[in-house]
Structures are given as structure tokens and as C-alpha cells.
Amino acid sequence: MVYKLITQTPICEGLDYLIEEGNKDKPANIYVSGVYMVAEEKNRNNRIYSREEMAREVERYNEEFVRTNRALGELEHPNSANVSSERACHLITELRMDGNVVKGKSKVLRTPLGEIMRSLVMDGVKMGMSSRALGTVEDKGGTNFVTNMKLITVDAVADPSAPGAFVNGILESKNFIIKQDGRYEEIYDMLESKLSSLPKKDVDLYLREHIIRFINNLK
């Protein structure tokens, strides 16, 4: 099965900022909290996520990442299905279903990009939270329904002035498969990159050896 990398228009309404008191020995911590995802409602990207799948993914994400202090989010969406520690700006410390919405809380990190987020928050910039997930998209009557959702993380993004102008359609041209061990693997891009780097005399040999494996990955 082929999965799309799906990002969501930033959710910024109702985000709260909490600044813990610090001192010379312990710098102040900054937390952001609010609505991180919404189910059963068409978003500004014309997509609907089912509550059942979203609740299942929240539970899995909590078990695998939040409770083990590995729930890193990046500053702006990268062109990848993997989370980079070098680009991390916040650590998700809470994630829970509340009706059809997912509420979360994150600690702003002291990484280079975390410091940028910290400065933006302290200067009054309105940040948004935007989910990054793998899934399949099915068009039903002009509305895209997301199924087989696999939550990667929730990224911190700047809120655009025009609704839907920031992530509408971004990254949806990239295709992935989920291997049996749970890892994500790009397919078409990997094949195209490999072919473009080979000498012409080696292309036919490469195709004979790998095209069957490539096709099997799509099943």
C-alpha cells in the first residue's frame, strides 16, 4: 500500500503559552498548549480525519513517544517522514483526545531552532500546531477522507495570513511505504534518484535486478 505524507493547515486558535519562573541557575521554561488536531471536521485542506483512527494514533504515539520523552516536533514541516533531532524545537509532553479534538502540551527546547521558537513566542508571534502523518487519501464527493493514518509528529509552524496558504497540498506528491518493522521508506523518489546517478550502461542491469522488488513494495 502506498502512503502519502500529509500535513495539516496550522491550528492556532486557543493556543496558550506558559512561562515558568527561572533564576540564574535555572532558565525559565516555556510551554505551549492547546488544540493540536481535529477529527470528524473538514479542515482548510479539505480533508477529514476519522475520530476512531485519530484516537488510535494518539494512544500509539503516547505509548511509543510521549511517555519515553521522544516526541520531538520540528520548526516548520520538513520534506520527510522522519523527525530530525537537529531540527527539533519542542517536545510534546501531553497528547489526549477531548471529544473530537486532540489537545496537547509541549515544552519549547533549548536547541537552535527551539531558541528561534522561544524568541518568536517572547516577541508575541502567533505560532500554530500542524500535524504530520502518513495516510491514504480517498476523494468522496470532493472531500478527501484520510484513512490508515500513522501520526509522525506535530510541528510548530508560523500562522499564515491567508487561510490554507501555507501547507495546502504540500508534500502530497511524495509517496512512502511502511515496512514490516514500522520504518518509512520513500519509493518513487528513491528509484528516480538511483537511476539518475547511474552510468547509462548500468541502468538496464539495475532495472532488471530491482524493478520486481520495487513493484512488490507497492503491494
Residues 62 and 108 in one domain: yes
Compute the 3-state secondary structure of the chain and give helix, strand, coil in percent, each to the nearest 5. Answer: 25, 35, 35
Question: pTM higher than 0.75 for the full model?
Answer: no
Q: What local confidence, expressed as pLDDT, does residue 182 receive? A: 57
Residues 103 and 201 in one domain: no
Each residue of 136-186: pLDDT tens digit? 888 888 778 888 888 999 998 875 432 332 332 233 445 555 555 555 555
Evaluate whether 157 touches 76 at the Cβ level (below 8 Å): yes
Judge if 93 and 164 occupy the same domain. Answer: yes
17 with 97, same domain: the answer is yes
pLDDT tens digits, 50-98: 899 999 999 999 999 999 999 999 999 887 888 999 999 999 999 999 9
Q: Active site residue: 77, 90, 106, 131, which one?
A: 77
**Are residues 100 and 192 located together in one domain of the fold?**
no
Mean pLDDT estimate for the chain:
76
Give the position of cell 475520530: 51
What domain count does the chain have? 2
Q: Are residues 174 and 207 in the same domain?
A: no
Domain extent at residue 21? 3-186
Q: How far is CA 42 from CA 39, 45, 50, 165, 173, in A?
A: 8, 8, 10, 16, 21
- Is 130 catalytic? The answer is yes
Q: Is 210 tagged catalytic?
A: no
Based on the domain organization, do 152 and 197 belong to the same domain? no
Judge if 78 and 98 occupy the same domain.
yes
CA distances to 18, 159, 171, 210 from 168, in Å: 30, 13, 9, 34
- Report angle CA 12, 16, 18 to the nearest 5 degrees: 145
Give the Cα separation of 55 and 166 in Å (integer): 26
Residues 177 and 195 in one domain: no
Instruction: State the Cα–Cα distance between residues 50 and 144, nearest whole angstrom.
Output: 11
Q: Looking at the structure, tell me whether residues 179 and 194 fall in a common domain.
A: no
Q: Kindly state whether residues 163 and 210 are assigned to the same domain.
A: no
Are 51 and 19 part of one and the same domain?
yes
Tell me the sheet residues that pair with 154.
Answer: 131
Task: Write down the catalytic residue from 106, 130, 161, 173.
Answer: 130
